[in-house]
Amino acid sequence: MKRPVIALIAFAIIACLPLLGDNYLLRLGTMFAMYAVLAQSWNIIGGYAGYPSFATAAFFGLGAYTGAILQGLGWPMPLAWVAAGLLAAVFAGAMGSAILHLKGHYFAIASLVLAEVLLEVTTSWTSLTGGGMGLNLPIIRMSIAAQARLFFWSMLGLAVLTFLMSWYVSAGRIGFALRCIRQNEDASSMVGINTTRYKVVAFVMSSLFVGAAGALYASWVFYIEPPDVYSVMTTIRPIVMTMLGGAGTLLGPVIGSAIFLVIEEVVWRNFLSVHAAVLGILIVGLIFYLPNGIVGAVARRFRKRGAEKGET
Amino acid sequence: MSILELKGLTQRFGGLIAVNDVDLSVEAGEIVGLIGPNGAGKTTVVNLITGVFRPSSGTVTFKGRRLDGLKPYQISRMGVARTYQVVQPFPEMSVLENVMAPAIFAAGAPSKAEAMRAADEAIDFLGLKDLRDTLASELTLAERKRLELAKSLAMKPEVLLLDEVNAGLNPAEIEIALEMIRAIAARGVTIILIEHLMKVVMSLCSRIVVLHHGAKIAEGKPDEITKNEKVIQAYLGNRYAKANAAEKPNV
Amino acid sequence: MLYAQILLNGLVLGGLYACISVGFSLVWGVLNVINVLHGSFVVLGSYIAYFAYAHFGIHPFFSIIIAGALLFALGYVVQLGLINRVVGAPVLTTLVLTFGLDLLLNNGMLLAFSADYRSVQLADPLGSAVVGGLVFPLDRLVAMLLAGVLTGLLYLLLVRSKIGRAIVAVRMDREAAALMGVDVKKIYAITFGIGALMAGAAGSLLSLVFPISPLAGSEYLSIAFIVCILGGLGSISGAIVGGIVLGLIQSFGALFIGPQHGLTIAFVLLIILLIFKPTGIMGRRGYE
């Protein structure tokens, strides 16, 4: 059976989580789905195209505030989520056209600064965003348990959509073009690839569902404030998850976000005061001992075994 | 009507004039040699034709259509392909995938299967069949040069610019490469050969253009070029001087 | 008069910013590594100065030497043991690695020193002098002058010493330098050590000016980023120009727009500059 189909079945099994009736597990499930959205989205620009984007927090925060403000204006929740995703995508398109000609560190910094600027704007624009005081979302008339299920399924649905997008990318022209760009951008344009267009498309794809996830997150937690949704960690986590699972692979980001969530949860519960240090150690270990991620390491082992078989 | 025409092509980098008022007209089916000592501006001319740089002034016309101002990907789609002096494969891809990229994006293959067929044809033509599934990073230099040729062939080009395809190859490998270039020309592809190996240009080209300090100093048949005073002075003279120096390292 | 005072404040601030950034710029330029640890290195320098003063009564102006030496050793070891192994890897790898190391160091400092803001309370501060209607905060001024001296010493080291010339050679052309017998890995470690040394020295000077806390690390890092982009990468003069420009933007921005927006203006300026002129105000070509 094809691997993507297995992944879809796995998603379907996870969707049955509410049957267990455990609220803690349901919260973890929602977190997993959110992480999977962020990691898979980053993988498009960071993994396939190889552009070190640090803009995830910008898309997430923009989505969270868009969703929260629109819901405050009385928009229905799902519509606010869609609008948040679209606004994030428009923002990514505009900014991407401006900064994607930068390479390496310069692109990394420019993408990082996007979140900083949005953070400052959000904090200063008190009349719209509530400024540093944060923003409360309208109360939903629904039982707590029903809400938990609603947000879980919605976030998981978003994760599945992101997965389908990644699948479309990895199997098609876009993914091929992006892989070419990652390996040699000059040669890519010489073989007929419109590199600018593909890079902007990848950047937009890496923003759409992140913006929607931000809005969903805002509805889920009822209250957002600028340093929370624009946090640097919102940017770093998906990168680490993707590297853990395997950048530029279809399943890597999903596997990475599940493992990352487990590690994070264990550390938060047992070693709260050193959780940042543990993440630091995880990163260092990852770079030195698992540079291609789990999927990459497994693929390499298979290839090696295949080669040995071929010789004998 | 000529297939490719350069008129008054000029490129300045700051105060430096890399290409100075170059005129050139190439007929369909020709093999034209573009030679000159190092730093003469040969590669810059290639970069101007293929859209890497936008010329400071002057025009590039391909089949009546202006190329200057277009992006490299647009030019490659129109049927002007190039190879690089320093080979530029996609290292983590197989030979097949490397050749499929131009088949899909430049030649606009309608489907993956079609792209694969076109790529396989180019791979066979250049004798890379056994290496079809090898990663580009694992190829030898001579093989990578052939991959570069296969890639440009998969673009279905009408004009092919070959930038020092023989640099770094040994004499036996050069012989093979020459055969391949002849075979490509026999398919009706117009070729502009950028070279500094005199022997290569002499045997292949019907016409030779000599650049020196960015300007065209001579143009004509191979035997005319070898007799041209200016060329001997600027190009051969320089090279002989260098060769002499190299032979007597202790002096 | 008001403007003159703000100009003065901006210049003093800018001088300190230049000192924070010059080591960061050096590491970026020579190793092509953005050292996310840099902000925490500055903070560590501040703590060293703080404890040296609290326990041994050593004035922060003198603990530059202690902080510099300790940070040099730390930087040298970190580069030799860890970063050297990935120095040629894609940008993302070194960025994430130094980010991970920063999480470690910062968490360590939080455990050791807590997040509380501290400051060095000098027993006999120099106070301030009024000359021609302008207020000169003397401790800050001396700190800035020392920062200038340090930066000058670094310049001399790069231009005059054998090691400095090796560093410059590696920066220009790594392979050529290796062929001429330069031990590139060792030069990398020394360069990184010098970057950390400058951070530590800047940190001890800043202990007199800004409150000390592990939380300040990210702000110092932001300053270093901005200064490097503004001034252009990898040259000492670029860091000085960038630092002074940032200092002036902040002090005048505080006057015209509000004190909380100083860094915002700088960030907006930064992104505009990145889009239209990634080589910085000085127009030097960066490494990518």
**CB contact C107 to A (< 8 Å):** yes
pLDDT, position A238: 96
The yes-or-no verdict on residue C284 having pLDDT over 90 is no
Q: Do B93 and A173 make contact, defined as CB atoms within 8 angstroms?
A: no
Distance from CA of A184 to the nearest CA of C (A): 13
Q: End of a domain among B104, B134, B156?
A: B156
Q: Do B89 and A179 make contact, defined as CB atoms within 8 angstroms?
A: no
- Alpha carbon separation from B244 to B38, B199, B235 (Å, rounded): 17, 18, 14
CA distance B236 to C45: 63
**Mutation test of the interface with chain A: which of C78, C93, C95, choosing the one with the most A Cβ atoms within 10 A?**
C95
**Mutation test of the interface with chain C: which of A43, A116, A233, A236, choosing the one with the most C Cβ atoms within 10 A?**
A116
Collect all residues with Cβ–Cβ distance below 8 Å to C165 and sequence separation of at least 6: C158, C159
CA distance A144 to A147: 5
pLDDT, position A35: 97
Coil, strand or helix at C183: coil
Collect all residues with Cβ–Cβ distance below 8 Å to B210 and sequence separation of at least 6: B35, B36, B216, B217, B218, B219, B225, B228, B230, B231, B234, B235
SS3 sequence, chain B? CCCEEEEEEEEEECCEEEEEEEEEEECCCCEEEEECCCCCCHHHHHHHHCCCCCCCEEEEEECCEECCCCCHHHHHHHCEEEECCCCCCCCCCEHHHHHHHHHHHCCCCCCHHHHHHHHHHHHHHCCCHHHCCCEHHHCCHHHHHHHHHHHHHCCCCCEEEEECCCCCCCHHHHHHHHHHHHHHHHCCCEEEEEECCHHHHHHHCCEEEEEECCEEEEEECHHHHHHCHHHHHHHHHHHHHHHHHHHCCCC
Q: Are residues B133 and B13 in the same domain?
A: no
A and C in touch (3+ CB pairs within 8 angstroms):
yes
B and C in touch (3+ CB pairs within 8 angstroms):
no
Q: Are residues B220 and B151 in the same domain?
A: no
Q: Do A124 and C264 make contact, defined as CB atoms within 8 angstroms?
A: yes
Q: Do A106 and C264 make contact, defined as CB atoms within 8 angstroms?
A: no
pLDDT, position A304: 67
Distance from CA of B74 to the nearest CA of A (A): 7
Residues B202 and B82: beta-carbon distance below 8 Å: no
The yes-or-no verdict on residue C288 having pLDDT over 50 is no
CA distance C249 to A203: 32
Collect all residues with Cβ–Cβ distance below 8 Å to C94 and sequence separation of at least 6: C32, C33, C34, C83, C86, C87
Chain C residue numbers with beta carbons less than 8 Å from the beta carbon of A243 are 96
Collect all residues with Cβ–Cβ distance below 8 Å to A109 and sequence separation of at least 6: A54, C34, C225, C229, C270, C274
b/e B208-234 (16+ beta carbons within 10 angstroms → b): bbbbbebbbbbbeebeebeebeebbeb
Percent pLDDT > 70 in chain C is 94
Look at residue B105 and tell me if it is in a domain: yes
The yes-or-no verdict on residue B79 having pLDDT over 60 is yes
pLDDT, position A308: 57
**CB contact C95 to A (< 8 Å):** yes
Lowest mean pLDDT among A15-24, A93-102, B59-68, B156-165: A15-24
**Mutation test of the interface with chain A: which of C38, C107, C279, choosing the one with the most A Cβ atoms within 10 A?**
C107
Helices A3-14 & A23-42 angle (0-180, nearest 10): 150
* pLDDT per residue as tens digits for the range A29-88: 999 999 999 999 999 999 999 999 999 999 999 999 999 999 999 999 999 999 999 999
Collect all residues with Cβ–Cβ distance below 8 Å to A127 and sequence separation of at least 6: none
Percent pLDDT > 90 in chain B is 41
Ranges A249-258, C53-62, C79-88, C208-217, most confident: A249-258
* pLDDT per residue as tens digits for the range A191-240: 999 999 999 999 999 999 999 999 999 999 999 999 999 999 999 999 99
Token pair 């330069």 is at which residue?
C182
Look at residue B84 and tell me if it is in a domain: no
CA distance B175 to A175: 38
**Residue C118 per-residue DSSP state:** B
CA distance B130 to B179: 19
Indicate which CATH number applies to the domain containing B39: 3.40.50.300
Best CA proximity match to A103, nearest among A137, A53, A59: A53
Stretch A94-110: mean pLDDT: 90
Q: Are residues B151 and B166 in the same domain?
A: no
The yes-or-no verdict on residue C108 having pLDDT over 90 is yes
The yes-or-no verdict on residue A254 having pLDDT over 50 is yes
The yes-or-no verdict on residue A23 having pLDDT over 70 is yes
pLDDT, position A173: 92
Burial class (CB in 10 A: 0-12, 13-18, 19+), A19: exposed
Half-sphere exposure of B72 (CA within 13 A, CB side): 21
Distance from CA of B78 to the nearest CA of A (A): 9
Any chains having at least 3 CB pairs less than 8 A from chain B are A
The 10 Å Cβ neighbour count of residue A254 is 27
Stretch B126-141: mean pLDDT: 91
**Residue C37 per-residue DSSP state:** T
Best CA proximity match to B31, nearest among B184, B190, B181, B203: B190
* pLDDT per residue as tens digits for the range B197-221: 777 788 888 899 988 888 888 888 8
Burial class (CB in 10 A: 0-12, 13-18, 19+), C165: middle
* pLDDT per residue as tens digits for the range C150-191: 989 998 898 888 888 888 888 888 888 888 888 889 999 999
The yes-or-no verdict on residue C259 having pLDDT over 80 is no
Q: Are residues B129 and B34 in the same domain?
A: no
User: Based on the structure, what is the number of domains in chain B?
Assistant: 2
CA distance A245 to A47: 11
What average pLDDT is seen over chain A?
Answer: 91
Q: Are residues B152 and B165 in the same domain?
A: no
* pLDDT per residue as tens digits for the range B25-39: 999 989 999 988 877
Q: Are residues B67 and B101 in the same domain?
A: no
Residues C119 and C54: beta-carbon distance below 8 Å: no
pLDDT, position A311: 42
Quickly state the pLDDT bin for C281 (edges 50, 70, 90). Answer: low
Quickly state the pLDDT bin for A312 (edges 50, 70, 90). Answer: very low
Q: Are residues B189 and B251 in the same domain?
A: yes
Q: Do A284 and C107 make contact, defined as CB atoms within 8 angstroms?
A: no
Q: Are residues B232 and B164 in the same domain?
A: yes
Tokens of residue A90, six digits: 């428009």
CA distance C199 to C195: 6
The yes-or-no verdict on residue C10 having pLDDT over 70 is yes
Half-sphere exposure of B164 (CA within 13 A, CB side): 17
Q: Do A180 and B89 make contact, defined as CB atoms within 8 angstroms?
A: no
Domain layout of chain A by residue ranges:
3-311
The CATH number for A3-311, chosen from 1.10.730, 3.30.450, 1.20.140, 1.10.3470, is 1.10.3470
Q: Are residues B149 and B188 in the same domain?
A: no
Best CA proximity match to A35, nearest among A269, A286, A242: A242
Coil, strand or helix at C46: helix
**Single-letter residue type at B43:** T
Q: Are residues B245 and B179 in the same domain?
A: yes
Residue C107 has its nearest CB partner, among A116, A121, A274, at: A274
DSSP letter string, C74-114:
HHHHHHHHTGGGGTTS-HHHHHHHHHHHHHHHHHHHHHHH-
Q: Do A187 and B92 make contact, defined as CB atoms within 8 angstroms?
A: no
Q: Are residues B171 and B105 in the same domain?
A: no
DSSP letter string, A230-242:
T-HHHHHHHHHHH
Comparing alpha-carbon positions, the chain A residue that sits nearest to B106 is A192
Best CA proximity match to C19, nearest among C193, C141, C150, C140: C150
- Alpha carbon separation from A207 to A43, A104, A174 (Å, rounded): 11, 20, 16
CA distance C86 to A286: 12
Best CA proximity match to B155, nearest among B184, B128, B192, B135: B184
**Single-letter residue type at C61:** F
Distance from CA of A275 to the nearest CA of C (A): 8
The yes-or-no verdict on residue C287 having pLDDT over 80 is no
Best CA proximity match to A106, nearest among C192, C32, C191: C32
Q: Do A193 and B155 make contact, defined as CB atoms within 8 angstroms?
A: no
Q: Do B102 and A186 make contact, defined as CB atoms within 8 angstroms?
A: no
CB pairs under 8 A between A and B: 63
CA distance C7 to C128: 17
* pLDDT per residue as tens digits for the range B80-118: 999 888 888 999 999 999 999 999 999 888 888 999 999
Residues B91 and B136: beta-carbon distance below 8 Å: yes
Tokens of residue A160, six digits: 């599945």
* Phi, then psi, of C249 in degrees rounded to 5: -55, -45
Burial class (CB in 10 A: 0-12, 13-18, 19+), B114: middle
pLDDT, position B1: 67
Percent pLDDT > 70 in chain B is 93
* pLDDT per residue as tens digits for the range C13-25: 898 899 999 999 9
Residues A256 and A241: beta-carbon distance below 8 Å: yes
Collect all residues with Cβ–Cβ distance below 8 Å to B7 and sequence separation of at least 6: B23, B58, B59, B61
* Phi, then psi, of B24 in degrees rounded to 5: -160, 140
Comparing alpha-carbon positions, the chain C residue that sits nearest to A278 is C104
* pLDDT per residue as tens digits for the range A121-130: 898 888 888 8
Comparing alpha-carbon positions, the chain C residue that sits nearest to A286 is C97
Look at residue B68 and tell me if it is in a domain: yes
Q: Do C90 and A106 make contact, defined as CB atoms within 8 angstroms?
A: no
The yes-or-no verdict on residue A113 having pLDDT over 80 is yes
Tokens of residue B54, six digits: 């936008």
Residue B105's domain comprises 90-156
pLDDT, position C48: 95
**Mutation test of the interface with chain A: which of B73, B76, B153, choosing the one with the most A Cβ atoms within 10 A?**
B73
Tokens of residue B105, six digits: 């994006």
Chain B residue numbers with beta carbons less than 8 Å from the beta carbon of A173 are 104
Maximum CA extent, chain A: 73
pLDDT, position A306: 59
Higher pLDDT pick, B200 / A292: A292
The 10 Å Cβ neighbour count of residue C63 is 27
Residues B48 and B60: beta-carbon distance below 8 Å: yes
Look at residue B218 and tell me if it is in a domain: yes
pLDDT, position B251: 31
- Alpha carbon separation from B140 to B167, B182, C56, C81 (Å, rounded): 13, 22, 65, 34
pLDDT, position A39: 97
Stretch C85-114: mean pLDDT: 91
Coil, strand or helix at C130: strand
Residue B104 has its nearest CB partner, among A173, A179, A183, at: A173
Tokens of residue B200, six digits: 């290569």
